[in-house]
Structure formats: structure tokens, C-alpha cells
Structure 1
């Protein structure tokens, strides 16, 4: 999972203020890990004796694996938001490039990267999806214990249907490890993100973000991304991820684009 917030530097923003901002984000990061301490652990595999079964769990006694990165890049906000195609070096704003969940055995489960631009600040979050998947709502989790969240996941596993188990067995036999950026098939569409949390209200002392976007691992052909928008009154940010030739045909359809802009 890769998400980022892009902020414009306030007028007169200097190196001292940058240092204070980075320190504030570090402190916020540390406080988050107090509440969600498993994110500072790493994945571990337990093999049961005289059995082929394996159990993958989060080990919190293997040393801290959460990462905080501070970097800088000679790019401006317009270099990121204006081009039709995102610059390739934007991928360097995130940790865990081309990673899969299993890599959590050796890589961090959570990384925050703050990248200074010439006129902005880029705050990117990379998180292992295996460590955060749950059907509860970032409210119920605060009211309940960590064991309660684990119980929810266990309940979801034991309630899988026979067909689901057959699909899992077939996948295990194939030995194929999928990435989030691998499309399920050519005709599927997947709607992602959450309308429950408006990321535009996130405040680090820089004002409202100028953009809330996703990293490359959240994108593949057929992915639809919806977030609450920057404008009040129910606005939405709506992203469509399609193959190049399909997207070219889509934006070339003047009547479709005219109708879309009028919505």
C-alpha cells in the first residue's frame, strides 16, 4: 500500500522550519507505533512439527523494522502534477518498490518518507497490506483490543467457502506470488480506497495538501480509485488506471470527456 500527501511550502519556509516539521512528523510516527506496535515488528514463519502447515505471524521481538526516511529531490510540484505521465523518479518517493507482502519477513511493515521538493513537501506512506487488513473501522479498533482485531481476521478465514478453499489450493500448487500491481484479469474492475477518511484534513503545519495520490503498487489496469476531494460539499477525487492505448482512446473521445466534465 502506497499513499502520499503533497504539500506546498508556505512563503518564507526555511531550513529551520523544515527541521521542525520533520521532527514533528517523527514524533507523530512514534506515537502511532505506540498504539499499533505490531507495525514495528516483522513477519515470521513458524513450521509445525511433523506437518506441512506453516503459520505466518508478526514477531515484535525481532527488533524494530519500521522506517523513517528523510530525503530531498530537485523537483517542483508542477513537475509531478502537470505532466500527462508521472515522472519515473516519483517512484523513489516510496519504500517497498515492487515488493510483495511476504517481503515483510525482511523489510519494514511500515515506512514513512518525507521528501523535500524545491517548492513543496512530499509525505509518502508504504505499508504491508498483510499487517493491516481488517473489516473493522482506523474507530472500532481504538475501542477494542488487538486480540479482538486478530479474532476478526480469524473469523474471516474460517468462514471461507469450499470454492474459496479450492481456489486457494490451486494457487498454492501454482507457486505464483502476486503483486498488487498485477491485474486479476483483462476484464475485471476494482474500486479501491475509502470514503470514511478525508485525507485533505491532515494537518502538519503546512495547510491543506495540494494532492492526495497513490504510488505505483496501488495501480493496475482496471483499478478505480476514489477519495474525498479537496473541495467541501461532497467533492471526490476519482482516478482511473488503464493501459496506455485504452486511456488514449478514452481521452480522445470528445463527447465522453465533455459529458464527464459537466458532471
Structure 2
């Protein structure tokens, strides 16, 4: 993950209505946020550290680790203001560029954690709202770790508001997991970080939110299972296959062009014995299934969904260990510009993460948003739907002409609706 961007996700809240004194409200909010972050970092102490590279010449070694000593500068907390409303943020059809300014460490790569904080919280006051933007170094944790931190932070904040000591319900698990006979330091085959880091700049993209109601997802799942003559295909596998076929159709590629669907997949429950859900770190892989444009579009949704389903169920303990063994034999560092091709679609994040359960004295958030980080042509970020009940929102990033073609695809647009950001002013 050293050459990937930080994870950037955040929550948008409405300010309490008048007659609250807005200055007192913000001052109190900032103080409570800082105090609760400080307490949360007691449990998630690696986020207060910095990355350190250790090199030796005889024998030649190159390893990167986290220094959690007390003399580190710690995490960063920023307060900012923006002369914009919630409507300005949520009403455009496309994800507005101004959202990038709601996050610190914009375009930072994880290797920058040698000199930059591993965690930065930016609190941005809007005219009628507050945005809590969190940038976390992706070397330190994956999406599961990120949202567990956010959930614990919220839990501590709410306890403090009620004058109680916080009882953390999901304590992070810090014991590192390695293959037998491996670790704790991994020797990388490099002499300098220029050999494995790069600054990826995405081409001009359009990013748009598409909302899938629980009802539309249930229909897609039923259709996929009926066509595949099974009952094993999940909702997310059905949605992934549906989007894969729709995006491929919109790209207008040659019949024999190879295309792939990639999924970020959580290894915690797949390893034997399984890791705790609270395992703090990266325990995630990217798995891929491939076919040709002709095969994908000439076959039905059930055919594509079964390929995605098979990909997921085959990623078991044996495959996880084999992937890590191969990586150890020839370590690589993922780079966005090199390891994701323009004919793929990559499903990241998860609608299972507890996003809307986080509260900071302003009620339920009205939207979950992300920054510039780790977005490229064909990237899809999955979010929990505001109304719950199995609904989800997918943030899709595509080249402008492909997004335009997708918007004209009746089969696709008849299934989705505009992102349902509830309580928009």
C-alpha cells in the first residue's frame, strides 16, 4: 500500500437549528471532538505514529515499520470553514470537486507517512452543516479498520456527551498476523523508495452516485439466482455483476477485448483460524475474474453473477496463504497507474460498514462522502444506503463519455435512482 493514497472518507451533518448560539455550538463541538479523538487514539495508538524505513547494507535489507514512540508529533486535527451549503455539496449530479477540499493530506501517498501524520481529522464548518473528514494512512489500516476507528470515536464522543465513561464495544486487536515463519519485518527488494512509489494523477473523470433501493437489489438478486439456477448468489455479487455488464456495455469495447471485475475482499473471516473482526491493520486482497466483452454481454446477468460468486467463495484460507507466499517470493507495491487496467471495474469499500451509526451531537449524518484518494477510471466505492434495510449507494468513477453512455442505458437507469441523500434542505 506504500504507493496508494490515504483512505479519505467523511460524514456530512446538519447544524442544529437556531436559536442555538452557533459560535458556542462550534466551540463546544471542536473541544468534544478533540477530547474524544484523544481517547480513541489511546486504543488506536498506531495512528499517532510515523512510518520509518530501516536499511542495512550487509546483509542488504529494506523494511518499513510504524514507530509509535512518544516523541512523534501524533495525529492532526484541523478546523476549517467553507462558504457553501449542504445543498451546494449534494445537489449536483456529479460529485463536486469542492469535496476534495474537505479532506487534509490531499493526494498524499502512504509512503508520505514518514513525514506526515498517519491520521488527520478535518472539521469543516459549512453555512448550515459540518463535515468530518478523516484521512487515514492505508498502510496502517483497511476499510474495516477505518470504520472501526470511526465507530469507536463516535462511541466515545456520545459517552462523553452523556457524562459517562466510554466502554469501547469493539476494541481494536493489534496482534500482528503473519504466515508461519515470516515476520515481523518484511525485507523488500528495493534500495530507494523511488523504485516503488509514484504520484498517480487520474485522467479527467466523472464521479456520480447511484442509489439502489432494497427492493431493486432484491429483484436483481432474484433475477441473477434464477438465471444461474441457484440460490447462492448474494446481493452484492448481483449488483457487482450488473454494474460490470452495464459499464462494459457503455465503454463500447471490441468483442474480443478482455475485461475484468475486481473486488476488494476481507481476509479476516477466511483465514483459519479466523482473525477477529476488530483486527487493526490491512487484511484485504483484490481478487479478479476475467472474460471477453462478447461472453459477458451475450450471456445473461446470472452467468456474470455466478463468475463473481465463484471468485468470492474460492477465496479461502488456502488461496489467501498462497497469495501471500507468492507475494513474499516477489514483493510488489501496488501503484494505481500500473496495476489497474482501463478495461477493469474495481469494487471497493463495503455497504456493510457502519457509516450512518456514527453520531457527534448533530443527529444522523445526511451523507457519506470521499475525497480524491484512490479514484481512477472504473473505480466503484460502495456505501451503506441512508435508509438502511439493505439499500446501498455506489459512487462510480468513469471517463466522461463512458458515464454519458451509462446514463443513456435504459436497462441500467431503470434499476437505479438518484442517490437518496435524506433530509437535504
Q: TM-score range with shorter-chain normalisation?
A: 0.7 to 0.9
Shift of 1:196: 3.6
Shift of 1:21: 1.0
Partner residue in 2 for 1:79: 88
Task: Map residues 24-63 of structure 1 onto 2, 5 A cutoff.
Answer: 24-61=32-69, 62-63=71-72
Pairing partner for 1:2 from 8, 17, 25: 8
Shift of 1:253: 2.3
Any idea what SS the aligned residue of 2:112 has? helix
TM-score, normalising length: structure 2: 0.54
* Residues 1:221 and 2:377 are matched in the alignment: yes
Shift of 1:89: 3.1
Distance 1:100 1:243 in 2: 23
| Cα contact 2:351–2:385 (8 A) shared by 1 | no
Partner residue in 2 for 1:241: 397
Partner residue in 1 for 2:242: none
Distance 1:250 1:4 in 2: 27
Shift of 1:218: 3.6
* Residues 1:256 and 2:412 are matched in the alignment: yes
Any idea what SS the aligned residue of 1:48 has? strand
| Cα contact 2:99–2:370 (8 A) shared by 1 | no
Distance 1:182 1:244 in 2: 21
RMSD: 3.1
Distance 1:164 1:63 in 2: 31
Structure 1's 143 and 110: CA in aligned 2 closer, same or farther, altered over 3 A? Answer: closer
Structure 1's 158 and 54: CA in aligned 2 closer, same or farther, altered over 3 A? Answer: farther
Distance 2:106 2:326 in 1: 33
Any idea what SS the aligned residue of 2:388 has? coil
Task: Map residues 159-198 of structure 1 onto 2, 5 A cutoff.
Answer: 160=323, 163-164=326-327, 168=331, 178-179=335-336, 184-198=340-354
Distance 1:246 1:26 in 2: 43
Shift of 1:109: 0.3
Any idea what SS the aligned residue of 1:126 has? strand
| Cα contact 2:76–2:121 (8 A) shared by 1 | yes
Partner residue in 1 for 2:101: 92
Compare CA radii of gyration and give the structure with the larger one.
2
| Cα contact 2:123–2:130 (8 A) shared by 1 | yes
Unaligned runs of at least 5 residues, structure 2:
1-6, 149-167, 185-282, 284-319, 419-425
| Cα contact 1:41–1:58 (8 A) shared by 2 | yes
Distance 1:228 1:210 in 2: 12
Unaligned runs of at least 5 residues, structure 1:
none
Shift of 1:182: 7.2
Structure 1's 47 and 188: CA in aligned 2 closer, same or farther, altered over 3 A? Answer: same
Any idea what SS the aligned residue of 1:201 has? coil
Partner residue in 1 for 2:28: 20
